């Protein structure tokens, strides 16, 4: 009996270890295997040519996951897993229907006119009945409205007579009117004083907040946190940036001076761009043509490492507390 129990526990342990191993393997693959991307874009002037033609390709783990996107006229997106398509936009056109289905459709088309005639006759009868019912309801509503108007007129005359009698009987003395007038003037000046004091308090709080946050920005904690964020962001951008970049552009504007200005900017940026981007100026025709090729990869581990270092850094946590004005 104990031998059987031990064997069952052994099998369960092996299954659990295999599941944990598969999960760890999947996690390691997701963290350390990079996602490759490739983008190609082209633009040509002329009638019949789309403004931009572009294709994007994303692959992971030796094309285990493969996503392709095409533009323009029809946006085309296709995803594959192990070379098996799992998603496509727009979907594939459906196969043509069989002859039996076509025959059924033709029968339905023949039967439709007769049914439509019967339905039209019934609808006309129903509409005539509705019109008669609506006429009767309109007559009833008109009679009711006339009765309500007469009642309201009688009530209004009665109230007017009462108001005239009361106004003739009661008259407010002049000294009370003067007293109310001075009270309103005093309240007006009080409201002005309250608004001025409120605006002064708000300005004072804003100035205090500005001084506080300027002190935080000039502190050593902010400098150290900023240096760390700059270092990690630079590392992520260095890894994400394209491994291959090639662009050939032909630019021509209406004014040749603007074309020359664009070429001067290209000359300033040439030490940073190098031979990867070439720009040719066209001083006679107005056009923007060219092609771009970008290829690179992204690894989740580098971004996760940067996020962990930033999240667990003491200076950044202290800085967040300072910004929230919490006690350290």
pLDDT digit string (tens) for 154-185? 676 666 665 555 544 445 677 777 778 778 88
User: How far apart are alpha carbons 177 and 182 in whole angstroms?
Assistant: 9
Among 7-16, 172-181, 203-212, 238-247, the range scoring the smallest mean pLDDT is 172-181
Residue 25 placed within a domain: no
Do 198 and 134 lie in a common domain? no
| Three-state secondary-structure class, residue 35 | strand
Number of other residues whose CB lies within 10 A of the CB of residue 293: 16
Phi and psi based region of residue 62 (left: phi greater than 0; alpha: psi -120 to 50; beta: remaining): left
Residue 153 placed within a domain: yes
Do 232 and 308 lie in a common domain? yes
Could you tell me the pLDDT band of residue 107, with boundaries at 50, 70 and 90?
Answer: low
- From the list 55, 65, 56, 78, the residue with the least C-alpha distance to 34 is 65
Residue 167 placed within a domain: no
Do 305 and 236 lie in a common domain? yes
Q: 202 is in which domain, residue-wise?
A: 175-209
- Proportion of the chain above pLDDT 70, given as a percent: 82
Q: What is the pLDDT of residue 108?
A: 61
User: Do 23 and 15 form a contact (C-beta atoms < 8 A)?
Assistant: no
Do 111 and 137 lie in a common domain? yes
Q: CA torsion sign, 119 to 122 to 126 to 131?
A: positive
Q: What is the pLDDT of residue 82?
A: 73
Average pLDDT of the chain?
Answer: 81
Q: Taking 70 as the threshold, does the pLDDT of residue 98 lie above it?
A: no
Q: What is the pLDDT of residue 116?
A: 67
Q: What is the pLDDT of residue 93?
A: 63
Do 314 and 226 lie in a common domain? yes
pLDDT tens-digit profile of 33-62?
999 999 999 988 766 666 788 999 888 888
Do 83 and 111 lie in a common domain? no
Q: Domain ends where: 72, 91, 110?
A: 91
Beta strand 65-71 pairing with 53-60: antiparallel
Residue 90: is the preceding peptide bond cis (ω within 30°)? yes
What residues contact residue 244 under an 8 Å CB cut-off, 6+ apart?
A: 293, 294, 295, 296
What residues contact residue 164 under an 8 Å CB cut-off, 6+ apart?
A: none
Residue 215 placed within a domain: no
Residue 3 placed within a domain: no
Residue 180 placed within a domain: yes
| Three-state secondary-structure class, residue 28 | helix
Do 44 and 131 lie in a common domain? no
Do 198 and 287 lie in a common domain? no
Do 78 and 48 lie in a common domain? yes
Task: Please state the rounded mean pLDDT for residues 109-124.
Answer: 67
Q: Taking 70 as the threshold, does the pLDDT of residue 259 lie above it?
A: yes
Among 76-85, 92-101, 122-131, 317-326, the range scoring the smallest mean pLDDT is 92-101
Do 256 and 276 lie in a common domain? yes
The number of folded domains in the chain is: 4
User: How far apart are alpha carbons 36 and 61 in whole angstroms?
Assistant: 9
pLDDT: which is higher, 327 or 237:
237
Distances (CA, A) of 163 to 26, 169, 184, 231, 276: 88, 10, 27, 83, 91
Q: Taking 60 as the threshold, does the pLDDT of residue 96 lie above it?
A: no
Do 234 and 320 lie in a common domain? yes
Distances (CA, A) of 214 to 114, 203, 243, 314, 323: 84, 16, 40, 20, 11
User: How far apart are alpha carbons 151 and 157 in whole angstroms?
Assistant: 10
The owner of tokens 């076509």 is 102
Distances (CA, A) of 204 to 198, 200, 201, 209: 10, 6, 5, 9
Do 262 and 186 lie in a common domain? no
Residue 157 placed within a domain: yes
Residue 168 placed within a domain: no
């Amino acid at each position: 009996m104990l031998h059987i129990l031990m064997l069952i526990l052994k099998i369960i342990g092996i299954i659990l270890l295999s599941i944990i191993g598969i999960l760890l393997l999947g996690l390691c693959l997701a963290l350390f295997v990079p996602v490759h991307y490739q983008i190609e874009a082209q633009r040509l002037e002329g009638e019949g040519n789309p403004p931009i033609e572009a294709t994007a390709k994303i692959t992971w783990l030796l094309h285990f996951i493969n996503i392709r996107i095409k533009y323009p006229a029809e946006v085309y997106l296709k995803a594959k897993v192990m070379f098996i398509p799992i998603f496509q936009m727009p979907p594939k056109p459906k196969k043509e229907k069989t002859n039996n289905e076509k025959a059924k459709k033709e029968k339905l088309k023949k039967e439709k006119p007769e049914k439509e005639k019967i339905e039209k006759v019934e609808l006309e009868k129903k509409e005539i009945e509705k019109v008669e019912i609506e006429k009767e309801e309109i007559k009833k509503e008109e009679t009711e409205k006339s009765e309500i108007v007469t009642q309201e007129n009688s009530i209004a005359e009665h109230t007017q007579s009462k108001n005239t009698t009361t106004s003739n009987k009661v008259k407010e003395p002049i000294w009370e009117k003067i007293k109310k007038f001075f009270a309103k003037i005093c309240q007006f000046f009080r409201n002005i004083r309250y608004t001025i004091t409120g605006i002064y308090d708000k300005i004072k709080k804003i100035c205090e907040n500005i001084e506080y946050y300027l002190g935080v920005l000039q502190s050593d904690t902010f400098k150290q946190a900023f240096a760390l964020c700059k270092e990690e962001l630079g590392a992520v951008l260095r890894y994400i940036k394209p491994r291959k970049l090639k662009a050939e552009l032909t630019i021509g504007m209406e004014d040749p001076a603007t074309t020359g200005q664009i070429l001067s900017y290209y000359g300033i940026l040439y030490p940073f761009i190098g031979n990867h981007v070439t720009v040719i100026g066209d001083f006679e025709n107005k056009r923007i043509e060219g092609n771009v090729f970008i290829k690179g990869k992204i690894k989740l581990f580098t971004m996760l490492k940067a996020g962990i270092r930033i999240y667990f850094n003491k200076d950044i946590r202290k800085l967040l507390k300072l910004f929230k004005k919490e006690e350290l």
